[in-house]
Amino acid sequence: MVVQTIPARIRWAVDFMDVQPNDHILEVGCGPGAGAELICSRLETGKLFAIDRSESGVDRTKRRCARFIEAGRLTVRQIDLATLRVPVKRLNKVFAFNVNLFWVRDASAEVALLHERVLPGGTVNIFYEATRREAVPEMIEKTSKTLVEAGFRVSIVDSKQPAAVGIIGKR
């Protein structure tokens, strides 16, 4: 078995999110599965539902995290957030890293869906790699605006090492 590293920016974001053993989390844009692996390693009775529009991202996450799928802690689906239907209001955290949807186009429908499905007190944790510091203000402004318009209270966290920024919406 090949051991895959988890980038420092993903570790920082997941640590910040403070995953609890019984959390029910949605990951938007699971990509290669580094976030899913780290989140699932912290779950006991909780579950992670990871989605990605990319077939290759879903395949890589499934391979990397097969043990968590087998243990019933992880479900991975190829779908975009706009068409996702979470059956009941049960999410207490949402996690996304480098998902441009939230700042490059109108994501109000997707964020409204998250607001509907995240339990009171739950959070939407959207993180971006901030290696291009000049783009950070636009990322923060557009993502924050969409979250606020959907009814979330927003706070910003900025890490210099690793270079990442988080926009956190709390319900």
- Per-domain boundaries in the chain: 1-7+21-79, 96-171
pLDDT, residue 162, reads 85
For 117, phi then psi, to 5°, come to -100, -15
Q: Does domain 96-171 have CATH number 3.40.50.720?
A: no
DSSP 167: E
Distance CA 90, CA 141 (A): 28
Given a cut of 80, is residue 89 above it in pLDDT? Answer: no
The Cβ of residue 100 has, within 10 Å, a number of other Cβ atoms equal to 13
CB of 109 within 8 A of CB of 82?
A: yes
Strands (E), the chain: 24-28, 47-52, 74-78, 91-97, 118-129, 153-159, 164-170
Dmax over CA atoms of the chain, in Å, equals 46
Query: How does pLDDT run across 32-71, given as a tens digit for each residue?
Result: 999 999 999 999 999 999 999 999 999 999 999 999 999 9
Give the CATH fold of the 1-7+21-79 domain: Rossmann fold (3.40.50)
pLDDT of 85: 74
- Give me the pLDDT at residue 3, please: 63
pLDDT (tens digit, 9 = 90+) per residue, 135-160? 899 999 999 999 999 999 999 998 87
pLDDT value of position 133: 83
* 1-7+21-79 and 96-171 have identical folds: yes
Predicted TM-score of the model (pTM): 0.94
pLDDT of residue 125: 97
Inform me whether the pLDDT recorded for 86 exceeds 70: no
